[in-house]
Amino acid sequence: MATAKCSAPTTGARFTATELPDYYAPWMNVAANLPHLIEGHQLRREVAKMPLLSTQYLRGHRQLRLARLALGFITMGYVWQGGGRQTVKILPRALAVPYCTISELLDLPPILVYADCVLANWKKRDPCGYVENLDILFSFPGGDSNKGFFLVSLLVEAAAAAGIKAIPIIVNAILHHGLCSLETALQDVALSICKMREAFKLIHVWERPCNCFLLHVFGTSWKDNFLMPEGLVYEGVWDSPKQFFGGSAAQSSTLQCFDVLLGIQHSAAQGFSAEYLGCMRDYMPAAHRAFIQTLASGPSLRQFVLATGDAGLHAAFNKCVSALADLRSYHIQIATKYITIPAGRCRAEQQQLGGCVHKGTSVLSERGTGGTGFMRFLKAIRDTTRKAQLTEQEATVPTH
């Protein structure tokens, strides 16, 4: 039987372009001043002044990604400049047309996704150094908290590199019955997931809860969102409104790779989990989607480990699952501290000041940037991950 080639995809580490040709200065100037323009409620006025620029002078993948990143940040700021109080129905032609053109070339939806604001939104101040040398390209209001959120998310993804690189080794070991190499590769995966959790802890160095909640607002989707029930009209591109999910960790190619590798299936019994996660692959870079699909169509690691009856493999497999469940539990803790609790305080303050809570503020605090009831979603996928552990009974009954 023919087997598909499984090789690890490239990550955002290659997207380091920081400048576009001078022709695109109107985009870059607005994107660079986004926090100031949003805070002064001037962004929509500046976008109205933007000329309709051609995309023909963009050269290569990196410039396309940078242009898309700038236009994506401007789009999210334009839509959510007033929070949930002053939503818009139309994205102006000068923004919508080039944004959709570039997005089509990159096979991504015209909304800011995780691969944009995390994998492509960074630079080095100079060629040397690492963490202390990183900075972001674009941001929303919130100062260093925004920077911390994006860079810590990037470092979490970078920590997974060894685990992703181990996946082709695992597939090859299954195909050739290489038990020793498989166990070693599984140990690499477990270690890399543990390093992801350690990198996640850096969020406490950067974040202030109130600012993280503000960032959460600017990442909100216009799909399944009653504040924009019809979606958004992209003027000059589509006559009817379109709906797209906002960027979220559910769009992390890394996490979905590990789910597929370990055979973790988020069933329809949990409501939206399975369908939503499947849909999130459409918001990943094309190469990442292809890698996940190739992995999903390959041999089952879980079934192979069970079939061997090998205690070492069982333990190594369960360490991977346990590490992934711990990472997801930590994600829930972070979301509670930096989003849920501040959102509750915001509602309480509004009640004290005006006697009522604006419906827009309430819904933005309860739903994830991807449009889900995010705490229920995070707990559902964490619980499913825990259940993927191989039980003692399974481990003592080899499959045939």
Domain ranges for the chain: 22-124, 141-396
Which one has a higher pLDDT value, 85 or 22?
A: 22
pLDDT top residue among 91 and 349? 91
Tokens of 161: 């590199």
pLDDT-derived band at 60, boundaries 50, 70, 90: very high
Mean pLDDT of 134-153: 88
Dist. CA 391–CA 127, nearest whole Å: 48
Own/partner long-range contacts of 222-230 (Cβ < 8 Å, ≥24 apart): 222/79, 222/111, 222/246, 223/371, 224/371, 225/363, 225/367, 225/371, 226/363, 227/84, 227/87, 227/360, 227/363, 227/364, 228/79, 228/87, 228/89, 230/89
E strand or H helix that includes residue 234: strand 233-234
Report the C-alpha gap between 205 and 203 in whole angstroms: 5
Instruction: Report the residue count for the chain.
Output: 400
Most confident of 138-147, 153-162, 275-284: 153-162
Between 288 and 210, the higher pLDDT residue: 288
Binding site membership for heme b: which residues?
331
What confidence score (pLDDT) does residue 362 get? 46
**Torsions phi, psi of 122, nearest 5?**
-155, 160
Question: Confidence band (pLDDT; 50, 70, 90) for 355?
Answer: very low
For residues 178 and 182, give the distance between their C-alpha atoms in angstroms, rounded to a whole number: 6
Determine if residue 177 is left, alpha or beta; phi over 0 gives left, psi from -120 to 50 gives alpha, anything else beta: left
Q: Give the percent of the chain with pLDDT over 70.
A: 80
Asked if 225 and 363 count as a contact pair (C-beta separation under 8 A), the reply is yes
The pLDDT of 39-50, averaged and rounded, is 96
pLDDT single digits (tens) 231-287: 999 999 999 999 999 998 889 999 999 999 999 988 754 555 567 888 999 999 999
Strands (E), 17-169: 90-91, 123-124, 134-135
* Neighbour-count burial of 12, counting CB atoms closer than 10 A to its CB (0-12 exposed, 13-18 middle, 19+ buried): buried
Pairing between strand 134-135 and 123-124?
antiparallel
Query: Tokens 């002064």 appear where?
Result: 40
Q: What confidence score (pLDDT) does residue 124 get?
A: 87
First-last CA distance in the chain? 19
Mean pLDDT of 26-53: 96
Beta-bridge partner residues of 90: 233
**Per-residue confidence (pLDDT) for residue 214, from 0 to 100:** 60
The residue with greater pLDDT, 205 or 109, is: 109
Local confidence band at 15 (pLDDT 50, 70, 90 cut-offs): very low
Task: Report the candidate in 111, 71, 81, 108 with the shortest Cα–Cα distance to residue 244.
Answer: 111
Burial class for 146, CB neighbours closer than 10 Å (0-12, 13-18, 19+): buried
Q: What pLDDT is stored for residue 280 in this prediction?
A: 93
**pLDDT value at position 174?**
97
- Statement: residue 373 has pLDDT above 70: no
Three-state secondary-structure class, residue 360: helix
Instruction: For residues 122 and 13, give the distance between their C-alpha atoms in angstroms, rounded to a whole number.
Output: 9
141-396 under CATH 1.20.58.480, yes or no: yes
The answer for residues whose C-beta is within 8 angstroms of residue 271's C-beta and 6 or more apart is: 376, 380
CB hemisphere CA count around 168 (13 angstroms)? 10
- Residue numbers in the known binding site are 331
| Chain-centre distance for alpha carbon 26 | 27
The pLDDT of 98-118, averaged and rounded, is: 97
